[in-house]
Structure 1
Amino acid sequence: MSKQYVMGLDIGTTSAKAVIFTKHGDVVSEAEVGYATLHPAPGWCEQDPLEIEAAAIEAIHTAMTRSAIDKEAIISVGLSSAMHSLICVDAANTPLSPSITWADGRSAALADELRATDIGERIYLATGTPLHPMSPLLKLLWMQENKYEPYLKAAKFLSIKEFLTSRWFGEDAVDYSIASATGLFNIYTRQWHEEALSLASIRENQLSRPVPATHLFTGLDVDIAEQMRLDPNTPFVAGGSDGPLANLGIGAINPGETAITIGTSGAIRQMSAAPHTDSRQEVFCYAFTDDLWVLGGPTNNGGNVLEWLKNTIGHAELTAALETQQDPFDVLIDAANQVAPGADQLLFLPYLNGERAPHWDASARGAFIGLCSTHTSHHMARAGLEGVLYAILSVAESLEALTGETEKLYANGGFARSEIWVQMLADMFGREVHLPVSHQSSAWGAAWVSLYAVGEVTDLRAIKQSIPMKGVVVPDMEKHEVYRKMFEVFREMYGVVGGSVRKLQRV
């Protein structure tokens, strides 16, 4: 049988997704398996790495069997994962700790302290990783300060993707973009950063060998291969983190091409031919390949805001959805769309889970600004959806200060399934928004890197010819003018209420 399919395995924040594509980017099979997130203490966010491993294996198995894909038909598997996870393991790759995720906030006080120092600025300028509790560097500092037993006993420190590849292939290797997101990796030299390692009191041999995105993992464990329904000779390719791979998978590769992803959280990113960091420390810059870097900023709040709105003010919409067998989120967004842009001068700061870019403030909190007696739940829903996009626009301003103006806007992630929400994005940015057919852009980016690594395609940028696109959303410039004026107020509000929020938290 000829090898005709390629797989992307995406280890996300809440689930593992295996997607099987043709070489032209058409999805032929996919499967998703979720896993739990645990909060054993306030601000802590942990997952079971063995549960994630089982979910990844099951997702691949299900994707293979669901469409009766023969194992001999798979060319290669590309790997993608969420950033900033950290697991303490022993020499045999047995976990000594949970996987501590990007959302963990236990090191918030340490992050604030380090950000205010010269050494903190030097580490950011070299590594491109903002000083925030998401960073494995800060997690390690917390472990060191608190004499965390798994840290003291660890032979190695791995991300969730390294954990899987180390167990499946017996090789400790980490791609540049996952390494970059640790705060321990110099994005200019593409080597571990000695000053950061010294600060965390760890040795270079406790970390994996940095490798390019095209690095091949071969010799898949026979038992694991059988569980996956794959040939053990199937090459796996290192790929990268979900951010740059989403840009690649959506076609946002050239200067001025910007990708916006909104799932549970959100991000905006551009690829660059050179690294960029500056003393403002507002955006990240991560290495991807030897000649490509990704710049951007994540926001903690995206689809979680819609979930919160549904649960707090969306009771009528939830009831209507049950009666009509509709998706309650669609009903809530339809209700919000009954309100004019700007929600009748109502603003929502969407910082329900603190905020990352551009403020990097784990203590930030949400707020409605301008609420009055004429506002309804529909106004609040509209303001909530707009608030998520205003936060993305705030990051876009910081990003454009380093990379130049956005020329072409792409969107993917769960929010891209909503025509209304994407139209809001186009109107707010005043730009056309280009949408792919598949929302699995990170998986397709990973799959394409694997095709490049095994010689099936000639270069990474050629993916632009193999991305099935759904269409273009055109902005309404009259609505854009309303949003422009509202955003002028929004950008002031963090500074206005931030001090009061911090005082409130000390009451």
Structure 2
Amino acid sequence: CEALDFVNHRLTGVWAGSLMNATCKWNYDSRNRKFCEDLYALLGVPDLGAKLPQRIVDIGDVVAPMLPEMARTLGIPGNPVVVQGGIDAHMGTFGADAVTPGSMLFIGGTSNVHLTQVPDDGRNIRGVWGPYPNALTPGLRMIEGGQVSAGSILQWLSNTIFGLDDAGVRSLCAAADAIEPDSTGLLALDYWMGNRTPYRDARLRGAFLGLSLSHDRASIYRAAVTAVALGAANVVFDLEKQGVAIDRIVMSGGIMKNRLWLEATIDAIGKPVELALDDNLSLHGGAVACTVALGLFPDLTTAAHALRAPVVKRTPDFNRHRQYLAMLADYREATDVLTPVFHRLSGNVESTRTERV
């Protein structure tokens, strides 16, 4: 089961799975409401379906009344019920009011995740996790783009490679902020841990191209920030190329604490962005689910619009956006050219690991 299911079991004594978790993580057939036993058999775990919670509950539906002893322990009066939720980041889409097609929740952190919904029209969308029909709201498919390494690259550079403390990192960011994106003479690729979207290639690797003895920490850090921003733009542009509407973007996560990274991402994407002023959109998502269960709103979409977190709007610097667009062409070309080399290098690493084992 998921951690969510275990917590709900402790609260209610009932085993139930979330439709979202089941669809996104268990390959549950959310259209026909059944486990994919044939798939489990092909994967060599034919009895998996029987081991999972058999009752699958939609987000915003009641799992069960809370056990009286649990209510007393938690100090909750009355007759509380436990309402079904889902995956943390995905529940944040309710807090961002990014439920309807055309809206995207962009969470920037150790990795980046791009969450949006599309009509359930059978289109094949490449390079994403999903699509997950009905996982978030009925009648739509959730898709999940992402960058496997994002803030982790910047932290790796500043802490592991440069050995900087917090004050040193602030000084580094200030120095890098004074450098125009296209003036470093460097091109970096952000595939430290492979690529999820749009290439879906676990064997891609990171790179700095154009290094010379004149480059300093600030220019290298600026190039890394640019690479992560270009990776984010590449995700958005590829989805749009496939017909996924992205008219509104809400950003949240650790990216909010790094102004250079945040502004670079907004400029690279080249769209107005709303910055969530609440640190935890998932809590808003939990509130949305509960209000629907209590009948305060007719559906999750209506509740999300009413209970969304406050935001502040930011517009991109279009002069810098033009720089990023030119660099994105080099970013994509370098990816294409170096992919065979990255594959060989990643294979060598795996071979060495196997020999050591």
Same fold (TM over 0.5): yes
After the TM superposition, which residues 158-197 of structure 1 pair with which residues of structure 2 at under 5 Å, given as runs? 158-182=1-25, 184-197=27-40
User: Are residues 1:259 and 2:105 paired?
Assistant: yes
Which amino acid is 1:421 matched to?
A: W
Q: Is the CA contact (8 Å cut-off) linking 1:410 and 1:435 kept in structure 2?
A: yes
Question: Which whole-Å CA distance do the structure 2 matches of 1:239 and 1:191 have between them?
Answer: 19
Scaled by the length of structure 1, the TM-score of the pair is: 0.62
Distance 1:207 1:499, change over 3 A: same
Q: Is the CA contact (8 Å cut-off) linking 1:346 and 1:371 kept in structure 2?
A: yes
Tell me by how many angstroms 1:271 deviates: 1.9
Aligned residues: 342
Tell me by how many angstroms 1:168 deviates: 3.3
Distance 1:264 1:276, change over 3 A: farther
Which amino acid is 2:51 matched to?
A: Q
3-state SS, counterpart of residue 279 of structure 2: coil
Q: Which residue of the other structure, out of 337, 342, 345, is the alignment partner of 1:496?
A: 337
Q: Is the CA contact (8 Å cut-off) linking 1:358 and 1:395 kept in structure 2?
A: yes
After the TM superposition, which residues 365-384 of structure 1 pair with which residues of structure 2 at under 5 Å, given as runs? 365-384=205-224
Question: Which whole-Å CA distance do the structure 2 matches of 1:419 and 1:506 have between them?
Answer: 37
- The match for 2:314 is 473
Greater relative CO (CA pairs within 8 A, separation 6+): 2
After the TM superposition, which residues 96-245 of structure 1 pair with which residues of structure 2 at under 5 Å, given as runs? 158-182=1-25, 184-200=27-43, 201-203=45-47, 204-208=49-53, 209-221=55-67, 224-225=70-71, 228-231=74-77, 233-245=79-91
Distance 1:489 1:314, change over 3 A: same
Which amino acid is 1:355 matched to?
A: N
Q: Which residue of the other structure, out of 459, 463, 486, is the alignment partner of 2:327?
A: 486
Question: Which whole-Å CA distance do the structure 2 matches of 1:354 and 1:314 have between them?
Answer: 23
Tell me by how many angstroms 1:295 deviates: 1.4
3-state SS, counterpart of residue 205 of structure 2: coil
- The match for 1:306 is 154
3-state SS, counterpart of residue 380 of structure 1: helix
Question: Which whole-Å CA distance do the structure 1 matches of 2:32 and 2:249 have between them?
Answer: 31
Identity, % of aligned positions: 25
Q: Which residue of the other structure, out of 155, 162, 165, is the alignment partner of 1:318?
A: 165
Q: Is the CA contact (8 Å cut-off) linking 2:136 and 2:142 kept in structure 1?
A: yes
Question: Which whole-Å CA distance do the structure 2 matches of 1:275 and 1:241 have between them?
Answer: 24
- The match for 1:346 is 186
Distance 1:313 1:465, change over 3 A: same
- The match for 1:289 is 137
Larger relative helix fraction: 2
226-235 or 344-353, which moves further after superposition? 226-235
User: Are residues 1:438 and 2:286 paired?
Assistant: no
Q: Which residue of the other structure, out of 120, 132, 145, is the alignment partner of 1:274?
A: 120
Scaled by the length of structure 2, the TM-score of the pair is: 0.86
Q: Deviations over 1:227-262 (max 9, x none)?
A: 544458432221222343222211222222222111
Q: Deviations over 1:14-49 (max 9, x none)?
A: xxxxxxxxxxxxxxxxxxxxxxxxxxxxxxxxxxxx
Which amino acid is 1:196 matched to?
A: L
Distance 1:460 1:345, change over 3 A: farther
**How much is the aligned-residue C-alpha RMSD, in angstroms?**
2.5
Distance 1:501 1:254, change over 3 A: same
Q: Deviations over 1:103-130 (max 9, x none)?
A: xxxxxxxxxxxxxxxxxxxxxxxxxxxx
Tell me by how many angstroms 1:268 deviates: 1.0
Tell me by how many angstroms 1:307 deviates: 1.5
Question: Which whole-Å CA distance do the structure 2 matches of 1:190 and 1:346 have between them?
Answer: 51
Unaligned runs of 5+ in 2: 349-357
Q: Deviations over 1:385-405 (max 9, x none)?
A: 222222222222332244434
User: Are residues 1:427 and 2:272 paired?
Assistant: no
Question: Which whole-Å CA distance do the structure 2 matches of 1:470 and 1:405 have between them?
Answer: 21
Q: Is the CA contact (8 Å cut-off) linking 2:103 and 2:248 kept in structure 1?
A: yes
Distance 1:354 1:206, change over 3 A: same
Tell me by how many angstroms 1:442 deviates: 2.0
Which amino acid is 1:409 matched to?
A: I
Question: Which whole-Å CA distance do the structure 2 matches of 1:432 and 1:279 have between them?
Answer: 24
- The match for 1:31 is none
